[in-house]
Amino acid sequence: MADCGNTGCTLDLEWVLSTQVNLPAVKKRAAELGTRRTVKKQWQAAWLLRTVTCIDLTTLSGDDTPANVQRLCHKAAHPVREDLLKAMNMQDKGITVGAVCVYSARVADCVKYLKEAGNPNIAIASVATGFPTGQTHLKSRLEEIHQAVADGATEIDIVINRNYALTGNWQGVYDEVKLMKQACGGAHMKAILATGELGSLTNVYRASITAMMAGADFIKTSTGKEEVNAILPVGLVMVRAIREYYHKTGIKIGFKPAGGVRTAKDSLTWLILMKEELGDDWLNPRLFRIGASSLLIDVERQLYHWTYGRYAADHEFPMA
């Protein structure tokens, strides 16, 4: 049974359309995860280090420059201060983030600067397909994938066609995502559902199943640009869809919450969700990522507190 490398399957519309989400039950379970689970002391430090390895360290701004990307790549290769790693006896474990995530025009910069930072094997994730809206012609979206892969992207974060999803055209969603997967070649594909724009949790489930059937290696909550991004009820529905897909196909699909995950506490809640709903096999960067830009600073501050018994100021943990 494979981790990612999803070959997909024929669209099963009966499966897609037969499921209805029980909203009160989802909200109850999400509230339990958000308020009743906790990790303390040395176990918290270990979980926070695990969080670091699952971060897609992201910059998706209109003013991104090669200099911004250079700082991002150096931080990705050295995400936690050496003194903190030594305190946990983890200085020789090769701790890095899971990936850097940028616009497709900045992929070549990532290749250059990760090599400069001494860790060229960190994954490079490129958003593509008219991110964040997807409101460009399909030909242009596919060409953007091809260019990002040619420039060195090893992962492609695509956006699904929300118009098709909102009008119930699941065949259209499936056909487009399948073409995008083909365009990715050897790169892994994360399908962004933009769940804040899908209208209902039932649509979130249907979009999740459809994207996985079309070959998505990961499903991702959000672009980070919607009004509502990664929230627990949505995450719960998506990981339950992943679990059902795994039970029916034997293929493990990854999950990525993105947008609004800013604190160490938030990240631990998502890790707990993965452990309780999918199991320990999903607690690694092959099957779990968190899309974030500011999260790493808070995680490092919490590790500093665990090490020294006091909190450091934000400026003690710059991006580079």
pLDDT at 315: 75
pLDDT digits (tens, 9 = 90+) for 219-261: 999 998 888 889 999 999 999 999 999 999 999 999 999 998 9
Q: Which of 157, 217, 266, 298 is catalytic?
A: 157
Q: Which of 109, 190, 256, 266 is catalytic?
A: 256
pLDDT at 2: 38
pLDDT at 37: 61
pLDDT at 32: 87
* Burial of 164: CB neighbours in 10 Å, binned 0-12, 13-18, 19+: buried
pLDDT at 44: 87
Domain definitions of the chain by residue range: 13-316
Q: Which of 75, 181, 220, 252 is catalytic?
A: 220
- Catalytic-residue membership of 157: yes
Residues of the chain with pLDDT under 50: 1-4, 320
- Catalytic-residue membership of 220: yes
What DSSP state is assigned to residue 195? G
Q: How far apart are CA 170 and CA 180, in angstroms?
A: 15
- 13-316 homologous superfamily: Aldolase class I (3.20.20.70)
pLDDT at 319: 56
pLDDT digits (tens, 9 = 90+) for 123-168: 999 999 999 999 999 999 999 999 999 999 999 999 999 999 999 9
pLDDT at 33: 85
Cβ atoms of 208 and 177 within 8 Å: the answer is: no
pTM of the model: 0.94
Cβ atoms of 185 and 215 within 8 Å: the answer is: no
pLDDT at 1: 32
- Catalytic-residue membership of 83: no
